[in-house]
Structure 1
């Protein structure tokens, strides 16, 4: 399985790094059955995150025709110019800004790039599984790609998913077939481990879990089985 993890200006670093490390470790544990790269809609470039000006390098353009996994992170930080390195002093004054106010704006900026068209093509490719961490599902939802689907996001964004016609689920990880979404930021660990289990096998996922000294949290939600009564 080849995983393309998408970078865009203002991305949340942990949304990227957590699944990146898990999937890379899965590749090592499986003898190369998993490969991972960082990509962007624009191609190779330095991409500024929304947290402390941390920069990661995309080494290729997102290729929606390549079989495997496309993973979209959420955003973090304050509103600035696209690609701007955040002011460290401004970022330290947490009381002066609210993530729930800024993040939707940062995510909405992706709609003015080539990313929505590339993600549309990826989701139309039967050989691609699309995954998201935290606000990454909001990127897809705001692009009109999740209507009628089951998905999750950070708890502060569940109402936004609902407003775009998504069946929002309050769960750590939601498996909707070729769409697998994670909730809050650290759910990237759980998402990555679940994808390893689903795509490569539970023994590989268990080995990575042991290596990271981390136990997956929560039940992976699927739209199957009886509907709970009285909840």
Structure 2
């Protein structure tokens, strides 16, 4: 039986949040991956990569996995009732409701994190309690049918974990080998715990504008 994975695609999405798990899911047998948006006009990612939706909210088939990636564009999505309504409707039908990076904030805005353990990008982890979630500093966090992943590159780990849950560890390991996913980063600066203080400060400065806008949005949304 064909597995259907729906990944939300939207203006200013962080493309690796999407393309990392996409590559993993698309490598699984009998699996179709749908890029879902309001229409099928191309959208442009946060780093300028054009992406073309393959299904709309109306034409998207029933999904086994619903995934929301992150990026600067999540700020608009947190107050987009059409998006939030779609997520609420599909969350009750999917086998797994998932997110990568700050996509978790959109799930939170849809009311799908209340009472759940969850993770997100390190620079947004402190937002999770405002959505009624328990923040967990981890690469992947599963709480029942909810699976959330940390920042950007964790989407590949996340994709493999979801494939293992759906199709077994052997299939996930086969895909990992096919993709030669054996990361050995040249620097130990991938988390605030590892990076030098000056690097953490520089990263926070670059995030400051988007984070300030996000703070205002979350304040408007109110308690969950």
Matches of 1:150 and 1:128, distance apart in 2 = 17
Aligned-pair CA distance for 1:113:
4.7
**CA RMSD after TM alignment:** 1.8
TM-score relative to the length of structure 2: 0.75
Helix, strand or coil for the counterpart of 1:37? Answer: strand
Aligned-pair CA distance for 1:61:
1.1
Matches of 2:114 and 2:182, distance apart in 1 = 32
TM-score relative to the length of structure 1: 0.73
Helix, strand or coil for the counterpart of 1:155? Answer: coil
- Is residue 153 of structure 1 aligned with residue 153 of structure 2? no
Retained in 1: the 8 A contact 2:6–2:63? no
Aligned-pair CA distance for 1:207:
0.6
Aligned-pair CA distance for 1:216:
8.3
Where does structure 1 differ by over 6 angstroms across 4 or more consecutive aligned residues?
Answer: none
- Where in structure 2 are there 5+ consecutive unaligned residues? 185-224
Of 29, 35, 38, the residue aligned with 1:38 is 35
Of 23, 43, 50, the residue aligned with 1:47 is 43
Helix, strand or coil for the counterpart of 1:185? Answer: coil
Helix, strand or coil for the counterpart of 1:58? Answer: coil
Matches of 1:160 and 1:4, distance apart in 2 = 25
Aligned-pair CA distance for 1:164:
2.0
- Is residue 109 of structure 1 aligned with residue 109 of structure 2? no
Retained in 2: the 8 A contact 1:66–1:128? no
Matches of 2:175 and 2:25, distance apart in 1 = 9
